[in-house]
Copies of this chain bind each other. A is one copy, B any other.
Amino acid sequence: MAKIADKYFKTDPWKVIEEGFNPSYSRVSESIFALSNENLGVRGNFDEGGSVDSLRGSYINGVYEVQDLQKSYLGIIDKTHFMIPAVDWLSTKIILDDEALDLGKVKFTEFERELDMRSGVLKRSFIWFTASGKKIKLTFLRFMDMTNNEHVYQRIIFEALNFSGDIKLVTGLSFNMIHEGRNACFWGNTEESFANKSISIMSKTLKSNKSVFAGAIIDAEASFEELHNDKSVNLFSKISLIKDKPFIFDKKVVILFDGSEGTKLRKLGDSKLKEIKEVSFDSALERQKAYWTKHWEISDVIVEASNDEYNIAVAEEQQGIRFCSFQMAQTYNGGNVRHNIGAKGLTGEAYNGHAFWDSEACCLPFYLFTNPNAANKLLMFRYNTLPEALERAKMLDCKGACYPIATLNGEEACDLWQHASLQYHPSTSVSYGIWHYVKVTRDENFLWEYGAEMLLQIARFLVSRSGQNPHTGEYGFYGVMGLDEFHMMVNNNTYTNYMSKRSLEYAVDVIHRMKTITPALYKELVQKTNFNEDEIQQWEAISNNMAMPTAEDGLTFEQFDGYFNFPYLDVNSIPISEFPLYNHWSYDRIYRTSMIKQPDVLMFLYLYNSSFSDEIKRANYEYYEPRTIHESSLSPAVHSVLAAELGKMDEAMKFFGFVSRLDLDNYNRNTREGLHTTSIAMTWINIIYGFAGLRSDDDILHFSPRLPDRWKTLRFSFTWQGRDVLITMKPDETLFELLNGEPMEMLVYDKKAVLSNEILKITN
């Protein structure tokens, strides 16, 4: 795996710290210091902007623009949508003696920036030396309210170090935001309003008609005047500073995007502004800290070095683990069923804010075991967008529901037809996600009310898209792309086939049980979907007779028909300078060899882990691992989990090092574009499935703790069916503690164990 860490940030158990400022690393820092509360996100931009290289981005989950595409062949989308930067609520200008604060131009020292993951507060401070000889310390704080996700807060502390006198401040709310990739502002005319220390502004996107209201209340002992600018509303003040006496400026912001517009939105905005007026920065911060304290109680993962020589490495891992967990919680926590998890969360405009199959395959497990309500909401997003999936299947001349590769609103938004039309893992992932959710939560109500309908429509889609080999009679999928995007139009991709087989089997099982258990709901479903029970025979015929190409050893699955005959490419022979390949190789060149981009066979062995023997897992891991270049950031964690299971702990740790610090160490050299949110979701999976050996694809949980040598402790808790459990892994034993809830049965190292009120110790 040709990946090298790019160390920059200071290691700390609970913080990410930047000491001194490196302008060439500015965009990476902006991504790392991005904050979000699921609803609103903002990159770690300097409040005051300036000439430093920057991708200015303040995003609202669900606010996107649409674009018509050139009409092409049938089934290929002719419009797409993409997340756009919304209102810039941090907008600030500071002028001292006619010198504008711009860290690209002014003289400053003691620059420090830190993100505290126990409060979600980002703090930045430095001392500014003006040309006129003045010295002032500035401290900027911000946080996104996790308890009220329409609220965000900014604080600026001014400390005049060698003078008393005026400083000029302009603070505002601006829709004058440029989408960098498309070099355009997508906001229409604005409507502004001023009152004493209060401003608000409304605008609407040009084509998608998304109306947004933003309002701010200023808490500061100064008087302010109105300032008019294009698409923005601003207040200006001359603040009188007194030497050594800190002056505090607080800005409390409400941002609304709730579907209402015009007068209604204005009225709602005004009333919300009144509410936030009564809240102080400090009291909101207290609530915020309480929120994060609770988060860490449930979902913290603690590692400790076994030996001094590992202290630094393990401290980095600890920081990385927490950083990933922090990102997951701030990106998505089930706050709104209209939300999903963009590949880069709300941290940049790359990938257009789109959610992919990652939501179910990579992110869901974290929520299942730390925030089951969020897991439920994530699946409800798919239920609510079932109409769009039905429509998409029709476009593809198929039946049932085909879920999109990339979307913000349920419609397919991926403008690469080869992905949008040939990859079906979003649909099987939804089916898998439902199955996994019900397996872990036993929330069968969800299954009968919502899951069954999705499963039925996905099964229909798969049947209509399948084909039959005229010689063997086996079924499979022809002309598809599996997870491995380095082989485009293949037949009988074992991932697609196996996932479809399981989806069909599960649909059959659910329909059968539903008929008995909830006959009334079943009847409704039949009517709603015009379901004919004969369809089940088809589902069974196909799932029972699904092609699974396998090598002569009877163990190694062939990734697709003919994969074994592809010219062999030693992936280690590719110079590191040629990665990422898409930027250095002709597009078609990546399709001609045995090289694969990311786990494909290994992915289904991971997802349905308990269905395959160790022998099969070993054979496939050893065959495919050397052929994989991990160009997808989702890839290493899956390899790490399987490597750990196969006792290849060194390999498992090598992959884990990458997974846990993917963005903190800018491994893929593109963190500047935003965080790999759905990839770093795999950190939790990597640890809990890899090292604690959790398996959640049976009716009870399995554990096979395998503590890496360099750790003396791995401690984590999780929630499961109303219980909270704390696990502490040590070199010789593992302690299971039921923090609350009823006793539970588990399988530890393949042996039944019952966890009740006493701590359960299992020796390795």
Contact = CB atoms under 8 A, between A and B. Distances in A.
Interface of A: 72-76, 395-398, 417-418, 421-422, 467-472, 478-479, 488-491, 561-562, 564-568, 582-589, 591-594
A421 B588 contact: yes
Contacts of A566: 467, 469-470, 478, 491
Nearest to A481: B489
Contact of A589 (B72, B396, B470, B593): B396
A468 B73 contact: no
A439 to B, nearest CB: 33
A306 to B, nearest CB: 43
Contacts of A584: 74
**Among A76, A567, A568: residue with most chain B CB under 10 A:** A567
A565 B75 contact: no
A639 to B, nearest CB: 23
Contacts of A593: 467, 478
Given A478-B592, A479-B591, A491-B565, 11 more contacts: A72-B587, A73-B582, A74-B583, A74-B585, A75-B586, A75-B588, A397-B585, A421-B587, A421-B588, A470-B568, A471-B565
Contacts of A467: 566-567, 592-593
Contacts of A76: 587
B491 A589 contact: no
Given A470-B567, A561-B562, A479 B74 contact: no
Tell me the number of copies of this protein: 2
A60 to B, nearest CB: 27
- Per CB-CB distance, the 9 closest pairs between chain A and chain B, nearest first, are A75-B586, A467-B567, A73-B587, A479-B591, A397-B586, A421-B588, A489-B489, A478-B592, A470-B568
A469 B567 contact: yes
A567 B479 contact: no
Contacts of A562: 491, 561-562
A587 B470 CA distance: 23
Nearest to A420: B588
Given A561-B562, A562-B562, A566-B467, A396 B75 contact: no
Nearest to A470: B568
A591 B74 contact: no
B491 A488 contact: no
B565 A470 contact: yes
Contacts of A568: 470
Contacts of A587: 72-76, 417, 421
Contact of A567 (B478, B489, B582): B478
A468 B422 CA distance: 27
A753 to B, nearest CB: 47
Nearest to A74: B586
Nearest to A479: B591
A28 B585 CA distance: 45
Nearest to A465: B592
A239 B395 CA distance: 60
B395 A586 contact: yes
A74 B467 CA distance: 33
A594 B471 CA distance: 13
A567 to B, nearest CB: 3
Contacts of A565: 469-472, 491, 561
Contacts of A583: 74
Contacts of A395: 586
A468 B588 contact: no
A593 B478 CA distance: 8
A568 B472 CA distance: 12
A241 B471 CA distance: 80
A407 to B, nearest CB: 19
A76 B589 CA distance: 11
A372 B160 CA distance: 91
Nearest to A486: B479
B588 A396 contact: yes
A421 B585 CA distance: 13
A160 to B, nearest CB: 50
A690 to B, nearest CB: 32
Given A470-B565, A489-B488, A491-B566, A479 B586 contact: no
A401 to B, nearest CB: 15
Nearest to A587: B73
A584 B75 CA distance: 10
A644 B263 CA distance: 79
Contacts of A479: 488, 588, 591-592
